[in-house]
Amino acid sequence: MNRGMRIGTGFDFHPFQEGRNLVLGGVGIPHPRGLKGHSDADALSHAVADALLGAAALKDIGSYFPDTDPRYRAMSSLLILEKVYRLIRGKGFAIVNIDATVIAEEPPIAPHVEAIKVNLARTLHLRPDEIGIKATTMEGCGPVGRREGLAVQAVVLLIKEE
Ligand code: MG
């Protein structure tokens, strides 16, 4: 057993809102609606950030980047990921891999997966093949199924460096 291995999970949901850009993993995705939120509402980056923080036994994303703080208004969530990366490096952790699932009825995510991997890899000092990005739908059920919003689930593995 490798006692230096640490797993973390993250989850985020944002409702769709007219007149906003849809951003996932720092990639602008053409769509009639974006996500409602304080920053750029990049639910994928938020879920990955929370998974990284959780694996390092740090606090949740809202503790470090409160949505009451005007500094984070409309900010790129890749900057949040950069700061989270520095936090976990400061605790002596390196990222082994990341896996995330976008849960949405719309839009199709597959055409944007490679661009998302490249963005996240650059931000988190990984290779694109160390990042999994998948998509699924809720088959018409629940708030995601009714196209009210989009959810993302993420899992990360960290390793403690000596
Ligand atoms: Mg969020």
CATH (domain of 116): 3.30.1330.50
Q: Could you give the C-alpha distances from 79 to 41, 46, 69, 104, in angstroms and in order?
A: 12, 11, 15, 24
**How many whole angstroms from 49 Cα to the centroid of ligand 1?**
10
Cα of 3 from ligand 1 centre, angstroms: 31
User: In the prediction, which pLDDT does 139 show?
Assistant: 98
Distance 90 CA to ligand 1 centre (A): 23
What is residue 143's predicted lDDT score, i.e. its pLDDT?
Answer: 98
* DSSP code, position 116: H
The structural domain count of the chain equals 1
Q: pLDDT below 70 — which residues of the chain?
A: 1-2
Specify the pLDDT at position 1. Answer: 53
Looking at residue 3, what is its pLDDT? 73
Question: What does the pLDDT read at residue 66?
Answer: 87
pLDDT of residue 2: 60
Which residues keep their CB under 5 angstroms from ion ligand 1?
12, 46
Say whether pTM exceeds 0.75.
yes
- Expressed in angstroms and rounded, the spacing between residue 43 Cα and the centre of ligand 1 is 5
Range of 70's domain? 5-160
